[in-house]
């Protein structure tokens, strides 16, 4: 790609985002309300089945982090130590749900970036560096067989205040497995996350988005809420960094959860796309954050 083509692509991306910005103010409430219907449930973690009233977003709980970069008007507030030693509140128990949450509270201009299948030392460190450069936090749904080999990357995620979720041990299609195997896939992964990250995961995502009753039940028993996504970047198809960034721009909106990958194949395009679209989202007024479960 030539320099002129790259500049043209960035201008189109920015124009698309700023065009959407004029629509977002009037549609934010509608998006939040739409999240209460069907599978587009609001992410609140109230411990009750089905959709629930909206809750405010906040930085994720995680082990005490390193000093944060100076925040701007669109960045998160500095990390202030959310480790298990400093948290004295009681987490509301996860309920056995019938469907995953697909978006977060539509109020404001908050979005969530999620990365599946890692950690992978070829691509995850670059993603972490990009996020750190812009002082934002994301969610990483890790596979146990990858996490056990790269526990240092989970500790780095904890240091930076990212949320780490459970994506099973070996990324199987859960709907084809016996219940005992589903439980093992989830429980083993929670154990390795707690060992490396410093606390057990609070969120779970089924591989391929294939949920069943066993996944919802065992997730709740292990203290996790199910999280799907609103926008699929389809980066696993390797359509090109520009196409990945375009999908994010087209789907950007209050409460959106974006699905990308940091492992499972060559994810260099995912890294390149993040490097392009993240500053554009921030400059367009979006707040990239992670959801927090409800406490009492």
Catalytic residues: 116, 261
Residue 140 · residue 197 · CB < 8 Å:
no
> Look-up: residue for tokens 């629930």?
52
Which tokens sit at 72? 């701007």
Give the pairing of strands 110-116 and 101-103: unpaired
Q: Residue written as tokens 């005992």?
A: 180
Q: What angle in degrees, to the nearest 10, is found between the helix axes of 3-34 and 268-283?
A: 70
Q: Give the residue among 191, 194, 201, 198 at the shortest CA–CA distance from 293.
A: 201
Of the candidates 224, 162, 167, the residue with the CA atom closest to the CA atom of residue 198: 162
Cα separation, 196 vs 272, whole angstroms: 28
Nearest to 27, CA basis, from 229, 227, 231, 252: 252
């Amino acid at each position: 790609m030539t320099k002129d083509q790259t500049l043209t692509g960035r201008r189109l991306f920015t124009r698309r985002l700023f065009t959407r910005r004029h629509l977002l103010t009037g549609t934010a409430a509608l998006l939040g309300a739409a999240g209460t219907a069907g599978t587009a449930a609001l992410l609140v973690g109230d411990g009750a089945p089905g959709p629930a009233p909206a809750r405010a977003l906040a930085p994720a709980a995680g082990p005490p982090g390193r000093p944060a970069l100076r925040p701007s008007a669109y960045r998160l507030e500095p990390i202030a130590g959310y480790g298990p030693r400093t948290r004295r509140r009681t987490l509301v128990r996860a309920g056995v749900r019938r469907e995953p949450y697909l978006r977060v509270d539509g109020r404001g201009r908050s979005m969530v970036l999620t990365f599946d299948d890692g950690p992978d030392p070829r691509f995850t460190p670059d993603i972490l560096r990009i996020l750190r450069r812009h002082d934002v936090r994301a969610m990483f749904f890790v596979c146990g067989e990858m996490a056990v080999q790269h526990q240092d990357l989970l500790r780095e995620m904890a240091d930076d205040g990212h949320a780490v979720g459970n994506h099973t041990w070996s990324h199987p299609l859960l709907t084809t497995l016996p219940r005992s195997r589903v439980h093992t896939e989830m429980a083993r992964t929670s154990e390795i996350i707690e060992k490396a990250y410093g606390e057990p995961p609070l969120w779970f995502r089924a591989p391929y988005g294939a949920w069943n009753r066993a996944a919802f039940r065992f997730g709740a028993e292990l203290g996790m809420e199910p999280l799907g996504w609103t926008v699929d970047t389809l980066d696993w198809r390797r359509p090109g960094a520009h196409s990945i960034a375009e999908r994010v721009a087209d789907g950007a909106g209050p409460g959106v959860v974006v699905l990308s990958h940091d492992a499972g194949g060559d994810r260099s395009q995912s890294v390149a796309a993040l490097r392009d679209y993240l500053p554009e989202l921030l400059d367009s007024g979006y707040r990239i954050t992670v959801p927090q479960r409800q406490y009492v």
